[in-house]
């Protein structure tokens, strides 16, 4: 907490220096010394990178509720329609630190029991490399925040299984593409 306060104060002082530099613009030519601008840009980049590295997360628990029905918009080939969709709801209890007012992403990645990524053909539930996933963004309101029940929903129709098939998944918490935390494996079976 003390470190976050220090960086906020430091960024505030740099911002004040920036305003002071702007106020010293030569009114006749409206130019600013390039070295001041470059120095300020470098300082902002360096400080933001240091500040971003303080982010951390801890996943306390993950659990699944099966056979949940949710209303979803589905493309039927001609138009979007709202229909009930049956699936599983993934609940995650986690703590996130030093990420106030910054986007974080909670992701669930699905794997085959042998560790191979499960493929997806639906762009809504597909990572760029083709893996079956569901991802949601959230923005914490406080520097240290606990999400006691963050929910993700995965329709059973996204699993390419016929009959009974086993899978496993993990939940990952990311900020700006950096993994902050990863859950243990959760094993489950889909019946279609």
Residue 28: is its pLDDT beyond 50?
no
pLDDT for 186: 96
pLDDT for 73: 84
Q: Provide the token pair at 189.
A: 């079976």
10 Å CB burial of residue 180 (0-12, 13-18, 19+) is: buried
Q: Are the C-beta atoms of 191 and 163 separated by less than 8 Å?
A: yes
pLDDT in tens, 80-92: 889 899 999 999 9
Q: Provide the token pair at 143.
A: 């520097």
pLDDT for 50: 53
Residue 184: is its pLDDT beyond 90?
yes
pLDDT for 52: 52
pLDDT for 16: 63
Provide mean pLDDT across the span 20-28: 56
């Amino acid at each position: 907490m003390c470190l976050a306060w220090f960086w906020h104060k430091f960024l505030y002082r740099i911002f004040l220096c920036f305003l002071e530099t702007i106020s010293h613009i030569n009114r006749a030519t409206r130019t600013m010394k390039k070295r001041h601008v470059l120095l300020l840009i470098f300082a902002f980049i360096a400080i933001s990178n240091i500040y971003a590295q303080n982010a951390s997360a801890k996943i306390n628990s993950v659990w699944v509720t099966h056979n949940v029905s949710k209303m979803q918009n589905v493309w039927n080939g001609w138009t979007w329609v709202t229909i009930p969709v049956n699936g599983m709801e993934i609940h995650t209890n986690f703590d996130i630190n030093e990420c106030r007012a910054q986007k974080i992403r909670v992701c669930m990645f699905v794997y085959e029991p042998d560790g191979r990524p499960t493929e997806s053909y639906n762009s809504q539930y597909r990572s760029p490399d083709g893996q079956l996933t569901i991802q949601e963004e959230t923005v914490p309101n406080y520097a240290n925040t606990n999400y006691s029940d963050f929910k993700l929903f995965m329709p059973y129709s996204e699993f390419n299984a016929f009959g009974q098939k086993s899978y496993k998944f993990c939940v990952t918490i990311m900020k700006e593409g950096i993994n902050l935390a990863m859950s243990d494996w959760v094993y489950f079976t889909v019946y279609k």
